Amino acid sequence: MSTSPSNQPERRARLGDLSEEEVLRIILPLMAVPDERVLVGPGDDAAVMSAGDGRFVTSTDASMRNIDWRDDWSSGDEVGRKIVAQNLADVAAMGAVPAGLLVTLLAGADTEIAWVEDLARGIGESCLEAGCPVLGGDLGGAPAGVVVLSVTSFGDLQGRAPVLRSGAQRGDVVAVAGSLGRSGAGLALLHNAPSDLSAKKAAQELIDLHRVPRPPLAAGPRAAEAGAHALIDISDGLIRDAGRVASASGVRVSLFSEQLAADVDAISAVWGRTKALEMVLTGGEEHALLAFFPPNISLPDGFRRIGEVTVGTGVTVDGERRQGGGWDHFGG
């Protein structure tokens, strides 16, 4: 007979069992990405970064358990990879390359250390893939059950002008890099999969992309080099984010469903064509890049045409005015 209590579940270590410094000693090595641009890294009052061309791009994006993710749908690793993708997509949407990240974690003392390690590993591996050092962050408490992640990202324009939302012009070609609607289609599957689901492999791909979006980060700087007039990442849905460019630029964005056929096809095996088109138009959290190019250039690698810029306001699909859809944080 064994003396070990193997029939009892082992109590897994929680944040409240360790000091802040012990937690940092576990997670910082998991997020170490050596980079000579980092002049002072984690561990002091602040980090110091060299700014390649005398400027830096910065953005920030936060997530909260049970609002932005569910632990029964996403692992810590996936939550970490997703928040890095979201943040670096904002940097790419200015035409910049990733230059660094700050990571803040506020979590209840009941949070499992193993989950925090998994999170840090996902952040670290995504940053390594993107060539993006983790410069530091903040670690703090929260009420039991609450977990908050807040990330700030940095980018380097490498001498290029930033590509804003406000530069789209009449006649511009509207083009997208990266997939559309799949993250939203995957989320819909997690909420409520069709009972007669036959396309299991396609469905799993949609769910995977919802858990870990794959923004085409290199396409941002490529669009800037090619002379894009405007650039945005699609975080809240194609119509909503195209509408932001329309509004900032004082133009109309005219989309054509025929040019979205490949995006619709990838989803229609699971959800049917009508729902699939709606998901392509309004699904968020995919972080494709939407660019507006002058009509006389050939589109850079990875971009495909989905519409054009015309006189007017707002967004149309096949000539019909479309509004809203997509995601609003307060649902107003």
Q: Which residue has the tokens 């054009």?
A: 308
Residues numbered 137 to 166 that lie near a copy of itself (CB under 8 A) are 137-143, 146, 148, 150, 152-155, 157, 162, 164-166
Query: Which among 37-45, 123-131, 173-181, 206-214 is the span making contact with a copy of itself, rule CB under 8 A?
Result: 37-45
- Residue 51 as a binder of a copy of itself (CB under 8 A): the answer is yes
Backbone angle region of 55, left / alpha / beta, with phi > 0 → left and psi within -120 to 50 → alpha = beta
Amino acid identity at 195:
S
- Residue 72 as a binder of a copy of itself (CB under 8 A): the answer is no
Tokens of 107: 């979590």
How far apart CA 277 and CA 254 sit, in angstroms, is 16
Amino acid identity at 82:
K
Query: Which among 86-94, 205-213, 266-274, 305-313 is the span making contact with a copy of itself, rule CB under 8 A?
Result: 86-94
Residues numbered 232 to 251 that lie near a copy of itself (CB under 8 A) are 232-233, 248
User: How far, CA to CA in Å, does 282 sit from each of 16, 184, 223, 270, 312?
Assistant: 41, 8, 23, 17, 21
Residue from the set 54, 195, 196, 198 that interacts with a copy of itself by CB under 8 A:
54
Least distance between a copy of itself and beta carbon 2 (Å)? 32
Query: Which among 173-181, 257-265, 304-312, 322-330 is the span making contact with a copy of itself, rule CB under 8 A?
Result: 322-330
- Residue 93 as a binder of a copy of itself (CB under 8 A): the answer is yes
Contacts (Cβ under 8 Å, ≥6 apart) of 130? 84, 88, 98, 217
Size of the site for a copy of itself (CB under 8 A): 73
Query: Which among 118-126, 172-180, 227-235, 295-303 is the span making contact with a copy of itself, rule CB under 8 A?
Result: 227-235
Contacts (Cβ under 8 Å, ≥6 apart) of 172? 229, 230, 251, 292, 293, 294, 295, 308, 309
Please give the annotated binding residues, written as ranges. Answer: 45, 59-61, 68, 90, 137-138, 165, 233, 235-236, 285, 327
Please give the annotated binding residues for ATP, written as ranges. Answer: 137-138, 165, 235
